[in-house]
Structure 1
Amino acid sequence: MPTPHEAEKQHTEPEEADRPPSMSSHDAAPLAARSRNPCCLCWCCCCSCSWNQERRRAWQASRESKLQPLPSCNTCAPPSPEEVQSWAQSFDKLMHSPAGRSVFRAFLRTEFSEENMLFWLACEELKAEANQHVVDEKARLIYEDYVSILSPREVSLDSRVREGINRKMQEPSAHTFDDAQLQIYTLMHRDSYPRFLGSPTYRALLLSGAPKPSPEA
């Protein structure tokens, strides 16, 4: 028969079955990891997507910092009424005018196709470059910015032109993108240019240069 002291000890100490199970360091580590990173159980649909988005944003910022298109006509004089009217005569006249390119680029932005003008300008800049090291770098950036299928600013090129670019990129030159530039130029001419001539933007420019009616006597 237990003494009163032993009976009290048995009553106060919890039995082994009543104690919470101890957690080993091996069991605690995965639990802590899961609490810190709740999306590990759905890595493919959560963490991977977030990581890809961050990577794409960083990639885009890097490309924009290294490859800047030719400056737009922000400081040039306003076009004369005759110059504005000449833009309707041919697409070449529009594209040879700094003010015309600036206005047309703003119009393309409203149609979410500004990358066509940016690509064309980048190709013009490349063709004016004589330093081969600079040509190599600019050609690579143009490819990544406008030709790669991974780029958010990819321009529309047919398979023949793409294959030609891929071959030429092995030894880039100032004329690596000539065929692609012509194709995009033709696309803007046939697709965007007619809509530009009928746009409120161009009509407003025409009206702003029209002679004012003389006041009645």
Structure 2
Amino acid sequence: MGSELEMEKCPPQNAGNTTQVQNTPHNSHVLGSVNNQTVGLFNSPSDACCFCWCCCCSCSCLSVRSAKEERILSTISEKQEDIDTNQMPELTLDEVQAWGESFERLIKSAQGRLHFRQFLKTEFSEENLMFWLACEDLKKETNKTLVEQTVKQIYEDYVSVLSPKEVSLDSRAREVISRNMLEPSSCTFEEAQQQIYTLMQRDSYSRYMNSSLYADLIQSFEQVNES
């Protein structure tokens, strides 16, 4: 009984079946209108943005554009997470010891950043290094569209108070970012990046130098040299 009621309410939408409708003066105008719309539908140019003729539906090209933008933004975000150790030069004791000379020597070294990042993970402050690296990549970008998209992604990932990876910035740095966001550029986060750099240099770097992680790395090279 229930299925019969459903069939009455929702007639089958089968394009292959032809529904017989009595051609009366009352419905002839309606049939003509539907036929004209159907002809227009199948005669639509192949490069039309969508095939919808109903004014209340949403255009499919908008969802395609949104999906494309999401792929670009996802690529920007994932770029900071991918580190190919096979492309790095072989690590030596001299380089590891050089990290102890200055924070600049450490952060300019690809291997140094990799090991420093592992240490920051133990302190739950990895986002500081990732934000700094994202800003470095932003400075190298020249395509205006990608610059704007990257600025938006960095803001959402590391500046927004809603992000779990939010970095610690003072009110002044946030005010500067807010002004810069009106006209996004490769220098939008320059002051904030410097603030995070100083934070890592004064705080995290000294603890990394005194950590067992760094000591064990030095010791592993010394043992290899002795053998």
**Do the two structures share a fold, i.e. TM-score over 0.5?**
yes
Partner residue in 1 for 2:20: none
Partner residue in 1 for 2:167: 155
| CA distance in 2 between partners of 1:169 and 1:67 (Å) | 18
Partner residue in 2 for 1:171: 183
**Partner AA of 2:192 in structure 1:** A
Over alpha carbons, which structure has the higher Rg? 1
Partner residue in 1 for 2:83: 72
Partner residue in 2 for 1:121: 133
Equivalent residues of 2:138, 2:186 under 8 A apart: yes
Equivalent residues of 1:136, 1:173 under 8 A apart: yes
**TM score, norm. by length of structure 2:** 0.64
Deviations 1:123-173 (A, max 9, x none): 011000000000000000100110011111100000001000000001000
Deviation at 1:77, TM superposition (A): 3.5
Q: Any gaps of 5 or more consecutive residues in structure 1?
A: 1-61
SS at match of 1:77: coil
Deviation at 1:68, TM superposition (A): 2.2
**Partner AA of 1:68 in structure 2:** E
2:112 to 95, 100, 111: 100
Equivalent residues of 2:73, 2:149 under 8 A apart: no
SS at match of 2:222: coil
2:149 to 137, 152, 158: 137
Aligned pair count reads: 154
| CA distance in 2 between partners of 1:109 and 1:83 (Å) | 22
Equivalent residues of 1:94, 1:101 under 8 A apart: yes
1:37-52 correspondence to structure 2 within 5 Å:
none
Q: Any gaps of 5 or more consecutive residues in structure 2?
A: 1-71
Partner residue in 2 for 1:11: none
Deviation at 1:69, TM superposition (A): 3.9
Equivalent residues of 1:72, 1:101 under 8 A apart: no
Note the aligned Cα RMSD (angstroms).
Answer: 2.0
Deviations 1:66-110 (A, max 9, x none): 512444352223411000000000000000100000000111011
**TM score, norm. by length of structure 1:** 0.66
Equivalent residues of 1:129, 1:174 under 8 A apart: yes
SS at match of 1:154: coil
Deviation at 1:63, TM superposition (A): 6.6
Equivalent residues of 1:95, 1:101 under 8 A apart: yes
Equivalent residues of 1:73, 1:99 under 8 A apart: no
SS at match of 1:191: helix
1:1-12 correspondence to structure 2 within 5 Å:
none
| CA distance in 2 between partners of 1:104 and 1:73 (Å) | 16
SS at match of 1:68: helix
**Structure 1 pair 186–87 and aligned structure 2 pair: CA distance change class (3 A):** same
Aligned residues with identical type, % of pairs: 50
Deviation at 1:213, TM superposition (A): 4.5
